[in-house]
Structure 1
Amino acid sequence: VFVNASLAFSETLESSQDSLIMFLLGSVLITMFLVGIAGNVYTLVIMNIAIRVTGTMYIYIVNLALADLLYLCTIPFVVCTYFVKDWYFGDIGCRVLFSLDFLTMHASIFILTVMSTERYVAVLKPLDTFTRSRHYRRAVTCIVWVVSFALSLPTMIMIELRTSIRDGVEKHICHPTWQMPAYKAYLTVLFNTCILAPGCVIGYLYLKLARTYWTSHTDLLSSSKATSGTKCLKQKVLYMIFGIVLTYWACFVPFWIWQLLSVYYFEHGTLSHNTMVCVNFIVTCLAYSNSCINPFLYTLLTRNYQEYVRDRQKSGTVFKRRFHRSSQRSVSSGSHQFT
């Protein structure tokens, strides 16, 4: 099984599939494609309209939306290949589409990690955000794409289009040319550097943020000036923080665990074909779903956090209001990249 969703399905297409499974697969993936495209295009439009308000922080959100859009654009090729049981896009299509799938998945993950770091700094160390210029954020974004491309390059190189004759019909399939020991090592390194490490960083930073919000919430409860609206908004922010962490792990970890299990334990056909198809379907949909959920997550959380900051400013002392007025630009800017 290949490391990305597209080839995982390409390899299962060579045997006949039940029409109900094909219909279910196509319907779910196309629905995710339409929802994800609409959500990310909406995000790009909003960010371009609000560019003067968001300042330089919009760079991360725009790049995340672009990465998610490109990743979702591989879905039609997956669906087409699954239904026609053949590959019509040539050897170049194999290399470009499968490496693009891989490139955009990791670009999205790395941008999420960078945004989490920026969010952490914006909330806990708001004055530090003033030292980070537009050029700094552009440089970070460029590094993310370069690293993602470097990681996808072996995928582009170690694949080829193969032709076979089955039942008198010529079939084409994109097939990896890895030796299994090298492929195992490659997947293991990718899992640790591209999934496990970013996931731990995101989880740690958001847990720190949750602790900060919780401490502030406890102090606010003891304040006579606290409003029920402020308390409710703080609870929503906490829920969204945990939602973001859980969404990351739920979307990506099952997919990558399945890739590792496939090469370490199931390579000799210990699972039935139907089981392989069903599991591939589930974990692939989970991986794609992250690109559909991202725009909704950071849109909702940004709105809630802005309302919370405004309410907190109104309920604070004169000194606190002055302090927040000076640092609000950095905090609000950070909230726009929360995802």
Structure 2
Amino acid sequence: MNKTSLNMNTSPPRVGNGGRSGTVDHELVITSTFGTLLSVVYIIGVSGNVYTLVVMCHSIRFATSMYISIINLALADLLYLSTIPFVVSTYFLKDWYFGDVGCRILLSLDLLTMHASIFTLTVMCTERYLAVTKPLDTVRRSKSYRKGLAWGVWLLSLVLTVPMMVMVAQTTKDTPDGGVKRMCASTWAPLAYKVYVTVLFGTSIMAPGLIIGYLYVKLARTYLESQRNSVISKGGKRSPKQKVLIMIFTIVLVFWACFLPFWIWQLLPLYHTKPLSLASQTHTCINYLVASLTYSNSCINPFLYTLLTKNYREYLKNRHRSFYRYTSSFKQRPPSLYSWGKSASSSNQFEFNSETLVMGTLK
């Protein structure tokens, strides 16, 4: 799915105006501006996500869900950004030079990574919710379970992408000057295409949005209830765990802010009964703008990942301290109870031990 348009009949190769000299200069300025912008986004985004992967791979020994999820997000962002050179070249050349296979692969990569990102964010929110409400269940989750869940996210994303691989093909169109223009276009009937795009909107925006919204409402109620019984934070400062939840929600909000305008722009012509009466240059600018906005998400994310992992490490450190303060209280108790506390401190991974104290601390 090319970022400039989900509607394949309005893809970048059709940006030109047939060579009219009165609009060539304006189109060149618009194309150059957005091409430069996307190039900058590509450089910053690739550098940031590669750095994120290097840092996370050194932390993967913990095998926590947070680190695995961030690796998934960074990989999805890199795949996302990998299509920018092809899109920028198409902007300037106003033709498609990458063949039928290029159409199927590049446009499908967009859908694959978009769903992988939002599904991973949904899993992260679910994991945080379960860590607070059902910490004992979190303890029982093994390393293989977390990796299997990550693979499941990519598999589900691939299943939703397969129709795009099938429906897209390279087509040609005669130009007014007698030439031939190549483009990527849908081979499905308009109704089938409309249904498929609507399903994609539901799977990438609506359904994850409802799930994440529900989880955060439940988490908010849990924290409000716990604050009525005990003081979670001191001096009015947010606890590290709250910071982790806020940062995850920030990443989700940035995703929606970057992709929702794109989806509105794609669905509008499908459900609007009358064609949009927009000038050619206005239509082109909006296409480029929503494309740049979606790509900018992969550029912003590495900075958010850095803040998220910083808060998460702080959260784990505090949980680690709380755990040892908690287990040290058994020293004055009978040996059997102390042995139980000592064995609990060495079970599973570091994060799991920390998480199990959440509900105990709230009580």
TM-score (norm 1): 0.83
Would you say the 8 A contact 1:162–1:174 is kept in 2? yes
Deviation at 1:45, TM superposition (A): 0.4
| RMSD of equivalent CA atoms | 3.3
Q: Which residue of 1 aligns with 2:334?
A: none
Residue of structure 1 equivalent to 2:12: 10
When structure 1 is superposed on structure 2, of 43-52 and 260-269 the one drifting more is 260-269
The 2-side partners of 1:75 and 1:329 are apart by 37
Return 5+ residue gaps in structure 2 as ranges.
18-23, 330-340, 357-363
Matches within 5 A, 1:1-339: 4-5=3-4, 9-10=11-12, 12-15=14-17, 18-55=27-64, 58-166=67-175, 167-213=177-223, 226-227=234-235, 230-231=237-238, 236-237=243-244, 239-265=246-272, 268-308=275-315, 310-311=317-318, 318-319=325-326, 326=345, 329-330=351-352
The alpha carbon displacement at 1:165 in A equals 3.6
Alpha-carbon contact 1:54-1:333 (below 8 Å) kept: no
1:50 deviates by: 1.7
The one-letter amino acid paired with 1:43 is T
Q: Normalised by the size of structure 2, how large is the TM-score?
A: 0.78
After superposition, the Cα gap between the structure-2 partners of 1:245 and 1:152, relative to the gap in structure 1 and judged at 3 Å, is closer
Relative to structure 1, the CA distance from residue 234 to residue 117 in structure 2 (aligned partners, 3 Å threshold; closer, same or farther) is: closer
- Give the Å deviation of 1:158: 1.3
Deviations, residues 220-256 of structure 1 (Å, cap 9, x unaligned): 7698xx356x547677556535523421321222211
Deviates more, 1:209-218 or 1:238-247: 209-218
Q: What is the rounded CA distance, in whole Å, between the counterparts of 1:305 and 1:218 in structure 2?
A: 25
Question: How far has the Cα of 1:78 moved from its partner?
Answer: 0.8
SS in 1 for 2:265: helix
**Worse-superposed segment, 233-242 or 53-62:** 233-242
Taking structure 1 as reference, are residues 136 and 256 closer, same or farther at Cα in structure 2, changes over 3 Å only? Answer: same
Amino acid at match of 2:51: Y
Distance 1:211 1:310, change over 3 A: farther
Report the structure number with the largest CA radius of gyration. Answer: 2
The 1:277/1:267 distance shift into structure 2, 3 A limit, reads: farther
Deviation at 1:24, TM superposition (A): 1.5
Percentage of identical aligned residues: 52
Distance in 1 of aligned mates of 2:260 and 2:320: 39
Deviation at 1:188, TM superposition (A): 1.4
The whole-number CA distance in structure 1 between the counterparts of 2:350 and 2:229 is: 20
Following the alignment from structure 1 to structure 2, what is the Cα–Cα distance between the partners of residues 29 and 77? 11
1-structure distance, mates of 2:122, 2:219: 14
Q: Distance in 2 between matches of 1:302 and 1:152?
A: 30
Shift of 1:278: 2.1
User: How many Å separate the matches in 1 of 2:228 and 2:319?
Assistant: 13
Deviation at 1:315, TM superposition (A): 8.1
* Residues 241 and 209 (structure 1), Cα distance of their counterparts in 2 relative to 1, 3 Å cut: farther
